[in-house]
């Protein structure tokens, strides 16, 4: 069903805006309407143009939480409260400054630590060198280079190094690289550097801060690195402990800031004067009483409520309210469209008819139980409405499975076990197809009655009386069905009956547009181009006749798929028996298992789609416009 809506106008002092929104507005489901569009003609009102000061504050609080590995999440159930920005900002910045002070010291130590690790990495390859590194920088006529090259290139270097003005010796090596020094006269350094570069020598520059023997320097660096690492960890822990000590208060600040930041968007839908704010929106009937009670806490704020049919400024949104059993079928309705506010909610109708058609087309106790099991597992894992729908469809399949006496394709087991005579689909083919058509006729009549009800609620008299799915169409359809039944029963029908209940309704349908103009008392009843109108109306009339016929016959597919379901099982049963005779019984069982899996997956999907098709094209097209606006209450946005 569609819940009744009330339009609410809210006026209050500007200084109470945030408090009112958080404490009275947010706890209830209210869809905001743009107040400026409604009140733009009123002088002295203008839009809010404030910049959001709370977004950066929320980011700052989140960063404080990150220091202690805490992720703040907004809790809808937390007690609502409010703190002005001029109080929030200094307190948050106070915590921030304390952390920044510790962080500044820590960053300085980290830079020193990184530099010493870099020095250690330079020394590691030459740690066994028995020479003071700083003395290498004191040569007057020689230049040295330290670096690495691939082992294969180092071997090539040995072939012709003796003929050149260079001394190279290995310091250490890994699996792929050789670390080496080479010395050359200053006058030859460019040529020698070019040679080594051609062998992909990678230079490693030694810092001037490396003093003394490498091994001793390395030991000293390791001690300094260990000391710095411990100091940095202590500072990190100090920051973490500080935040943990104040975490309760910081979380309270987060709640305040998140509420204010999340509700700041309300301003985009409200307007203000110098001293007051104005808001408008829709509140559901189920929320109305509790919202009015909340308003008692704000005597300075005034609310004026209007019924849905008296408000002319805004179109009521649609809020579907169905019980737990039918609610999972709402997505099927919404895939086609959202019902208009004064339109019939087809959710319950879809649930009943879809289960009925699916069960009729896919009746099997065993496979129905499997579908329900899959649905249960899917719903348990994802909480998806599809899982609940599968549970219900599986139940419908089980129900019709008992009627057909089918259990994983065996049509004798249930009848023998429970001592009853099921309906054998293959032996009652015509009855199955006939029953499907009767089902279609009943459903078409129901949806035409729903369409008449919709037109009445929308106060569209012409649509209610003269539409092909209105009273005229209903009389015509019932008359044609009655005449067809009379012909089958060999009962004579008087020509006057044919004229009154077949021809006359068709004439009304043909003249629906002019009659609508006449009811609305328009100046021109017929269009100016009468010839075009007549041709168009004739084509629409022919399309109406074909639609009645095709829609009715389409429901034969319910019976056809029921027969098809049995036919599939018979094929695999024959194959199973053939395999069992030529091979062994186990392979025959495997064939039946494969057949059940194939039928369950392939035919089950097809039947599900066909059921949706019948709902949308044969039924919805006759009464459901789906042009409504879904009810979307304002909620606090979460970071």
- Round the CA-based radius of gyration of the chain to a whole number and report it: 41
> Smallest Cα–Cα separation from 48: which of 34, 59, 28, 31?
34
Percent of the chain exceeding pLDDT 90 equals 41
Q: How confident is residue 145, by pLDDT bands cut at 50, 70 and 90?
A: confident
Residue-wise pLDDT tens digits, 190-241: 888 888 898 899 988 888 778 888 888 888 889 989 999 999 999 999 999 9
Sign of CA dihedral 310, 311, 317, 322: negative
The first and second tokens of residue 50, run together, are 């404030």
pLDDT higher than 80, residue 557 = yes
80 has a pLDDT exceeding 70: no
The two three-digit tokens of residue 233, written as one number: 């960890």
Structure tokens at 188: 């030859």
Residue 190, Cβ density class (10 Å: 0-12 exposed, 13-18 middle, ≥19 buried): exposed
DSSP character string of 352-419: HHHHHHHHHHS--HHHHHHHHHHHHHHHHHH--HHHHHHHHHHHHHHHHHHHHT-BTTBSSHHHHHHT
**CATH code that applies to domain 131-212:** 3.30.70.2750
What count of other Cβ atoms lies within 10 Å of the Cβ of residue 129? Answer: 18
Give backbone dihedrals phi and psi of 169, rounded to 5 degrees, phi first. Answer: -145, 145
3-state secondary structure of 7: strand
Indicate if the pLDDT at residue 396 is higher than 70: yes
Cα torsion angle, 11, 17, 21, 24, sign: negative
Spatial separation of the C-alpha atoms in residues 373 and 365, rounded to whole Å: 12
CATH fold match for the domains 1-48+270-319 and 131-212: yes
Q: Does residue 79 surpass a pLDDT of 60?
A: no
- Name the DSSP letter for residue 467: S
Tell me, which fold does domain 1-48+270-319 have in CATH? Alpha-Beta Plaits (3.30.70)
Q: Where are the domains of the chain?
A: 1-48+270-319, 51-121+233-267, 131-212
Contacts by 425-432, CB closer than 8 A, 24 or more apart = 425/562, 425/563, 425/565, 425/566, 426/563, 426/566, 426/567, 426/570, 429/559, 429/563, 432/559, 432/562, 432/563
- pLDDT tens column, 29-78: 899 999 888 887 788 888 888 888 888 998 999 999 998 888 888 776 66
Interior/surface letters 424-447, b for 16+ CB within 10 angstroms, e for the rest:
bbeeeeeebbebbbebbbebbeeb
Q: Is 385:332 a contact under the CB 8 Å cutoff?
A: no
Q: Which helix (H) or strand (E) holds 185?
A: strand 177-185
pLDDT in tens, 314-355: 889 999 999 999 999 999 999 999 999 989 999 999 999 999
């Amino acid at each position: 069903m569609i819940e009744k809506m009330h339009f609410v106008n809210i006026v209050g002092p500007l200084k109470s805006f945030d408090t009112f929104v958080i404490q009275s507005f947010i706890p209830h489901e209210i869809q905001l309407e743009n107040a400026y569009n409604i009140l733009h003609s009123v002088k002295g009102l203008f839009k809010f143009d404030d910049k959001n000061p709370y977004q950066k504050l929320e980011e700052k609080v989140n960063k404080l939480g990150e220091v202690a590995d805490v992720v703040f999440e907004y809790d809808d159930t937390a007690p609502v409260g409010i703190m002005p920005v001029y109080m929030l900002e200094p307190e948050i910045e106070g915590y921030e400054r304390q952390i920044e002070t510790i962080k500044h010291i820590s960053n300085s130590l980290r830079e020193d630590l990184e530099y010493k690790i870099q020095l250690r990495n330079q020394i590691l390859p030459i740690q066994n060198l028995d020479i003071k590194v700083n003395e290498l920088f004191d040569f007057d006529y020689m230049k040295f280079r330290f670096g690495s090259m691939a082992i294969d290139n180092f071997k090539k270097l040995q072939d012709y190094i003796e003929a050149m003005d260079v001394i190279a010796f290995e310091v250490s090596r890994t699996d792929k690289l050789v670390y080496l020094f080479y010395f050359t006269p200053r006058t030859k350094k460019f040529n020698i550097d070019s040679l080594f570069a051609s062998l992909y020598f990678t230079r490693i520059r030694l810092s001037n801060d490396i003093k003394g023997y490498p091994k001793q320097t390395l030991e000293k660096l390791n001690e300094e690195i260990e000391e710095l690492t411990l100091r940095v960890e202590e500072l990190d822990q100090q920051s973490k402990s500080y935040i943990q000590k104040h975490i309760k208060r910081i979380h309270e600040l987060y709640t305040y800031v998140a509420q204010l930041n999340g509700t700041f968007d309300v301003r985009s839908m409200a307007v203000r004067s110098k001293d007051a704010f104005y808001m408008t929106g829709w509140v559901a009937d189920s929320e109305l009483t509790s919202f009015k009670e909340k308003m008692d806490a704000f005597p300075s704020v005034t609310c004026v409520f209007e019924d849905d049919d008296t408000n002319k400024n805004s179109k009521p949104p649609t809020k579907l309210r169905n019980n737990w059993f039918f609610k999972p079928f709402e997505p099927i309705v919404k895939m086609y469209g959202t019902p208009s506010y004064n339109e019939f909610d087809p959710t319950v109708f879809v649930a009943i008819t879809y289960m009925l058609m699916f069960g009729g087309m896919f009746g099997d106790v065993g496979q129905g139980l499997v579908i329900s099991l899959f649905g249960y597992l899917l719903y348990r894992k994802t909480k998806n409405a599809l899982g609940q729908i599968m549970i219900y469809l599986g139940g419908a399949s089980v129900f019709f499975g008992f009627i057909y006496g089918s259990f994983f394709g065996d049509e004798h087991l249930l009848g023998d076990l429970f001592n009853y005579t099921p309906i054998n689909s293959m032996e009652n083919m015509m009855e199955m197809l006939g029953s499907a058509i009767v089902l279609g006729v009943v459903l078409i009549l129901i949806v035409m009655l729903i369409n008449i009800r919709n037109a009445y609620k929308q106060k569209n008299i012409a649509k209610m009386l003269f539409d092909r799915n209105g009273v005229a169409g209903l009389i015509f359809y019932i008359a044609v069905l009655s005449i067809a039944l009379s012909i089958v029963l060999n009962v004579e029908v008087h020509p006057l009956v044919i004229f009154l209940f077949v021809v006359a309704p068709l004439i009304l349908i043909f003249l629906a547009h002019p009659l609508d103009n006449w009811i609305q008392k328009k100046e021109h009843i017929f269009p100016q181009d009468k010839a075009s109108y007549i041709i168009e109306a004739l084509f629409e009339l022919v399309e109406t006749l074909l639609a009645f016929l095709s829609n009715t016959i389409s429901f034969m597919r319910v019976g056809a798929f029921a027969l098809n379901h049995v036919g599939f099982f018979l094929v695999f049963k024959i194959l199973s028996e053939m395999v069992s005779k030529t091979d062994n019984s186990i392979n025959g069982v495997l064939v039946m298992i494969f057949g059940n899996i194939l039928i369950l997956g392939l035919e089950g999907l097809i039947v599900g789609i066909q059921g949706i098709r019948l709902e949308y094209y044969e039924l919805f097209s006759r009464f459901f416009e789906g042009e409504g606006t879904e009810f979307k209450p304002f909620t606090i946005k979460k970071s």
